Structure formats: C-alpha cells, structure tokens
Structure 1
C-alpha cells in the first residue's frame, strides 16, 4: 500500500465516522496553491473544515500535535478561499476540526476533535 493509498484509506475512515455521527460531506481534497482541505462537511447549519491526520503511534505527540501552527494557517487560508468560492455557504457558522487516527486501515482508532482551533488561535 502506497502512502497515498494509506492516506485515502484513513480519509475514507474519517468521513465514514463523521457521517455516522450525522455530518454530511460537501467536498473532499480541495486543493489550493497554499493548502488543502481534507474534508468539508455540514453539521446542522454549520460548516466544518476537517483536517485528517494519521500517525502510527503517539510518539512525538501523535496525530493531534502534528497539526502545527503553520498547518493551521494553511487550512484557514484554504477555508477562506473555499468560502469565497461558495458565497452562499459563507454566511454559515464555521469551525475547524481535526480527526486524529492511529492504528491500521483495518482497525483505525479515531479521535474527533471538534473546534480543534479557531482563527483567534492563529494570532
């Protein structure tokens, strides 16, 4: 399995997990020159920009800590560009979530962190 295949398998697992929790997918793997949105989903009236992170184990802080300040800024820039391209969605409340995954594609351990960061956190 290639790194890309592994990433796609974990993104699929994250999406399925979130859909079971009641979110609905709007877009996935939306790329801009400055960053990418792994998943864009709706929960009720809110838009959730989801970063999916996989780490085999928790050494060095695991998946949640791998979303650095620079990565958060790139996600926020991509979210801003996505909202500019979808003005009808821009009036909705938005949040940034992280789905941290460890384990294997066959038995993923999923931690969903709602509101993992805000624009105020970016300084």
Structure 2
C-alpha cells in the first residue's frame, strides 16, 4: 500500500503528464502557449494559450474515465481559476481588447483528449 506522500507524488506526475499531453494537443490545433502552471491570487491555471484574438485559460483534468474528468471542475475550482485569470490579465495589458474564455482539456486512458471550448464562465468581478 502506498503512503500519502507516494500517492501525492503519483498524482502530481500524472497531472504534469496530462498538462503536456493537453499542450501538445492544443499546439496541433493551432494554439500558441503563453504560460504554463500560472499561479496567483490563490488559484492556478494549467495552461494559457492564444489563437487569433482569443486567449484561452485552460484547466486540464486527468481521470481514470472521461466522465469523471468532465465532472471534476467544482464551483470552488472555478472561483480560484477566475481569480488567477484576473491576476494574469492585470499583469498583461496587451490582453485587453481580446476575447477571453475558460476552456478545459480532459484526459483519460485509451481516449483522445477532449477540448471543451468555453467550459465555464470566468468570474471577472
């Protein structure tokens, strides 16, 4: 049986690998990366990418089954994610005038990644 520390390490490595898979998937779709693992204001954004006049703040979720990944973004996660997005936008004035959205990429074994555009509303207040 694994210790709590070993479980955290395995989870961390699985999440890190899922972020790389998501980034490669988005690169193939024509997105350019702006930031990875951006943390601020008590929240974290896995990927920040751009394509055209759109900036997408991307949450990556890796689960054992795609259905589990789809339901993994909680209300608390959306609030923290939105706070981090507001902090990033405040530090990047050139992002003003562009379209912002919160996307999600879901990763599950033996499945292609699933990119959900505008997965949830950013709380910009």
Tell me how far apart the structure 1 counterparts of residues 49 and 21 of structure 2 sit (CA, whole Å).
Answer: 14
Tell me how far apart the structure 2 counterparts of residues 65 and 85 of structure 1 sit (CA, whole Å).
Answer: 31
Q: Is the 8 A contact 1:96 1:116 kept in 2?
A: yes
User: What TM-score, normalized by structure 1, do the two folds share?
Assistant: 0.86
Per-residue CA deviation, residues 12-66 of structure 1 (Å, 9 max, x unaligned), is 00000000000000000011241101000001111000000011125xx411211
Look up the match of 2:15: 7
Q: Is the 8 A contact 2:32 2:50 kept in 1?
A: yes
Q: Which 4+ residue blocks in structure 1 deviate beyond 6 angstroms?
A: none
Look up the match of 1:57: 65
Q: Is the 8 A contact 1:76 1:119 kept in 2?
A: yes
Tell me how far apart the structure 1 counterparts of residues 49 and 111 of structure 2 sit (CA, whole Å).
Answer: 20
Tell me how far apart the structure 2 counterparts of residues 108 and 72 of structure 1 sit (CA, whole Å).
Answer: 25
Look up the match of 2:121: 118
User: What TM-score, normalized by structure 2, do the two folds share?
Assistant: 0.85
Structure label with greater radius of gyration: 2
Look up the match of 2:48: 40
- Secondary structure at the aligned position of 1:81 is classed as helix
- Secondary structure at the aligned position of 2:46 is classed as strand
CA RMSD for the aligned pairs? 2.0
- Secondary structure at the aligned position of 2:94 is classed as coil
Q: Which runs of 5+ in 2 are unaligned?
A: 1-8
Equivalent pairs counted in the alignment come to 117
Tell me how far apart the structure 2 counterparts of residues 84 and 16 of structure 1 sit (CA, whole Å).
Answer: 27
